[in-house]
C-alpha cells in the first residue's frame, strides 16, 4: 500500500507515499459518529512523522498500522491524538478493524483478530452481513475496569461544567481500562446537554489529578446512558464517541447502576450536542459490584481513501 517511486507529476523531493482512509466510527451513516484516519502501512514512519500526520488530520485520533510483533496477532496499531500517543482507544480500534476487513487486508472468513496496542493485545470480533459487508466490530478491553480515585467536589465540578450544583448529585470517580476518565454523574440529560467546559476552572480543578479527561454521564432509560467527553489536554475540545471511556464506564455502572451477577448490556449515546450522534454498544460481565470483562462495539462507514506524500 506504499510506493517509493515518484510519478511524473510528483515533486522529486517526495520520496514515499502512504495509503490512508478515513472513517466515521460508531455510526451507520457518513458524517455521524467519530472521524478516524487510518494510515494503512506505516512500518517505516518515524514517531515524529506519525505525530505530524495526526496533527495534519486533526481528528481526535489517527491510527498507524504496522506489522505485528507476535506472528499470531493481526497487526500492531499505534494511536495518536493531535498532541500525543495513547496506549489504547476504542473508536480507533473498532475503526481500524473495520477498515482492514473492508479493504480485504483481513480476509472475509476471519472473525477474530488481535491488535497489538500500547496497553497490550486487544481482541476484536468482526461481524459481517449476509452480503459479506462488515457490519460491526467489537473490542474486548485488554484490562478490566478499575477504580482509580474519587473527587467529591460537587460545587467545583458544577462550576467547571457551567451547571447548577444540585445537578451533580454524587461524587465523580476516575475509572480506567488502561486510559483513565473522570466519570461525573449528572442528574438529568438536560443538564448534560447544557454543560459547557470552563477551561480555566478545568485547569484549576483537574491539573495534575488522576485524570483530566472529563466524562459527564446521565441516565437516559432503563439500559441507556447519554454521555459527553472533554479532553482539552489532548487537544480534543469534545469527542463525539469515546470507546475507551465506555469500557471504563462499565466499572462505574457495575458499582452504581447494575444489579446482579452475569452479563449486562447498555447503549451509550454520545455526540448529540456536536451534531455527530454516535451509538456505542457496551457489554460487561459482573461479579458482585465489579465489572470483570468489558466489550465495546459498533458500526463504521468508510468516507475517504487517499494517499499521503511525504
249-278 average pLDDT score? 95
Are 131 and 178 contained in the same domain?
A: no
Per-residue confidence (pLDDT) for residue 235, from 0 to 100: 86
d(CA 53, CA 51): 5
Are 181 and 71 contained in the same domain?
A: no
pLDDT, greater one: 219 or 258: 219
Are 99 and 152 contained in the same domain?
A: no
200-214 average pLDDT score? 97
Query: Crossing angle of helices 243-256/90-102, nearest 10°?
Result: 130
Whether residue 150 is predicted with pLDDT greater than 90 in this model: the reply is yes
Whether residue 13 is predicted with pLDDT greater than 80 in this model: the reply is no
Place of cell 497489538: 116
Instruction: For residue 7, give the C-alpha cell.
Output: 510519478
Number of domains in the chain: 2
Are 98 and 179 contained in the same domain?
A: no
Q: Is 165 considered catalytic here?
A: no
Are 128 and 259 contained in the same domain?
A: no
* pLDDT classification of 259: cutoffs 50, 70, 90: confident
93-98 average pLDDT score? 98
Domain housing 214: 146-296
102-128 average pLDDT score? 97
Are 24 and 111 contained in the same domain?
A: yes
57: alpha, beta or left, given left = phi > 0 and alpha = psi -120 to 50?
alpha
Per-residue confidence (pLDDT) for residue 10, from 0 to 100: 47
Give pTM, 2 decimals. 0.91
40-52 average pLDDT score? 96
Whether residue 30 is predicted with pLDDT greater than 80 in this model: the reply is yes
Are 202 and 271 contained in the same domain?
A: yes
Per-residue confidence (pLDDT) for residue 105, from 0 to 100: 96
* pLDDT classification of 260: cutoffs 50, 70, 90: confident
DSSP string, 169-211: -S-EEEEESSSEEEEEE-S-HHHHHH----HHHHHHHHTTSS-
190 to 102, 164, 230: CA distances (angstroms): 38, 12, 17
Q: Which of 61, 167, 173, 238 is catalytic?
A: 61
d(CA 16, CA 112): 32
Contact 223, 267 (CB under 8 A): yes
85-109 average pLDDT score? 96
d(CA 193, CA 97): 31
Instruction: For residue 246, give the C-alpha cell.
Output: 465506555
Other Cβ atoms within 10 Å of 136 Cβ, number: 18
Are 238 and 135 contained in the same domain?
A: no
| CATH code, domain carrying 30 | 3.10.310.10
Are 14 and 39 contained in the same domain?
A: yes
Are 138 and 94 contained in the same domain?
A: yes
Whether residue 152 is predicted with pLDDT greater than 80 in this model: the reply is yes
Are 15 and 42 contained in the same domain?
A: yes
DSSP string, 235-250: TEEEES--HHHHHHHH
226-231 average pLDDT score? 97
Are 274 and 250 contained in the same domain?
A: yes
Amino acid at each position: 500500500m506504499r510506493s517509493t517511486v515518484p510519478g511524473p507529476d510528483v515533486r522529486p523531493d517526495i520520496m514515499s507515499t502512504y495509503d490512508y482512509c478515513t472513517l466515521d466510527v460508531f455510526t451507520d451513516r457518513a458524517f455521524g459518529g467519530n472521524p478516524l484516519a487510518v494510515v494503512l502501512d506505516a512500518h517505516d514512519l518515524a514517531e515524529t512523522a506519525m505525530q505530524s500526520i495526526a496533527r495534519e488530520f486533526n481528528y481526535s485520533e489517527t491510527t498507524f498500522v504496522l506489522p505485528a510483533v507476535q506472528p499470531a496477532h493481526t497487526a500492531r496499531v499505534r494511536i495518536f491524538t493531535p498532541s500525543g500517543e495513547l496506549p489504547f482507544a476504542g473508536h480507533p480500534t473498532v475503526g481500524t478493524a473495520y477498515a482492514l476487513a473492508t479493504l480485504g487486508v483481513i480476509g472475509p472468513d476471519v472473525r477474530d483478530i488481535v491488535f497489538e496496542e500500547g496497553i497490550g493485545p486487544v481482541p476484536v470480533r468482526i461481524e459481517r452481513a449476509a452480503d459479506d459487508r462488515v457490519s460491526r466490530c467489537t473490542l474486548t478491553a485488554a484490562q478490566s475496569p478499575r477504580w482509580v480515585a474519587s473527587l467529591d467536589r460537587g460545587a467545583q465540578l458544577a462550576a467547571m461544567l457551567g451547571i447548577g450544583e444540585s445537578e451533580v448529585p454524587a461524587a465523580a470517580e476516575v475509572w480506567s481500562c488502561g486510559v483513565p476518565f473522570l466519570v461525573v454523574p449528572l442528574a438529568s440529560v438536560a443538564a448534560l446537554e447544557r454543560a459547557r467546559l470552563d477551561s480555566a476552572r478545568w485547569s484549576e480543578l483537574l491539573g495534575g489529578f488522576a485524570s483530566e479527561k472529563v466524562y459527564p454521564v446521565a441516565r437516559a432509560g432503563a439500559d441507556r446512558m447519554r454521555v459527553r467527553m472533554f479532553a482539552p489536554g489532548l487537544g480534543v475540545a469534545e469527542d463525539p464517541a469515546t470507546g475507551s471511556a465506555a469500557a471504563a464506564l462499565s466499572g462505574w455502572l457495575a458499582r452504581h447502576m447494575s444489579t446482579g451477577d452475569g452479563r449486562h448490556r447498555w447503549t451509550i449515546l454520545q455526540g448529540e450536542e456536536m451534531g455527530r450522534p454516535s451509538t456505542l454498544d457496551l457489554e460487561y460481565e459482573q461479579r458482585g459490584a465489579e465489572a470483570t470483562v468489558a466489550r465495546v462495539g459498533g458500526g463504521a462507514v468508510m468516507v475517504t481513501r487517499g494517499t499521503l506524500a511525504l
